[in-house]
Amino acid sequence: MHPYRMQRLITSRGKSDVINVTARASLYNTIDRLDRDGLVQLRETTREGQRPERSVYEITDAGRAAADLWMREMISAPKPDYPEFTAAVAHLPLLEPAQAAEYLRLRAAGIAAEIGRISAELDAAKGRLPRLFLLDTELILDTRRTELRWIDSVLADLHSGAMDWSRESLAQLSLTLEKPDEHPDTEEHTP
């Protein structure tokens, strides 16, 4: 099929939660790269009426082999992801506790809305599609629920005071955790 149809099909099947196809140019760049690498090939160019020509692609044997390898690696071997939110959480001490709580409450509200939307879509699809085609949606839903539970636990600790910090307390902690050999400009003298 041609890339525009791919984009519409991905979106209509609800897979745009898994594959970002909002920027059509990115999809075209991906198709160009797959074509250059011999993983897909141009099958035909079509034109309907006054519409522009559309290039129709099909997967090659090398593409099928690459897809099989990719699936085997992605499914069987856990690898570290580097999601934006996790990176932001690692830098939470840069914020004041009240500000961190405010931002986390906003995220929790957004995730709760997303959970509602995904749950409704999943319930609607369950009668029409076999579970096989809903596994990614189930995983996204459970991941969001887990994230919301985690945020709620952090917010509870911030609210109760069980988790608190200040620039001064972080500076003191840093000094406490430093090792003498981490400062090459400081010499230790032994008598």
User: pTM of the predicted model, to two decimals?
Assistant: 0.76
Tens-level pLDDT at each residue, the chain (191 residues) = 677 778 888 887 777 777 777 777 788 888 899 999 999 999 998 888 888 788 888 999 999 999 999 999 999 999 988 899 999 999 999 999 999 999 999 999 999 999 999 999 999 999 899 999 999 999 999 999 999 999 999 999 999 999 999 999 999 999 999 876 655 555 555 54
- Residue-wise DSSP of 103-136: HHHHHHHHHHHHHHHHHHHHHHHHTTS-GGGGHH
Q: Check: CATH 1.10.575 for 3-76? A: no
Contact 12, 38 (CB under 8 A): no
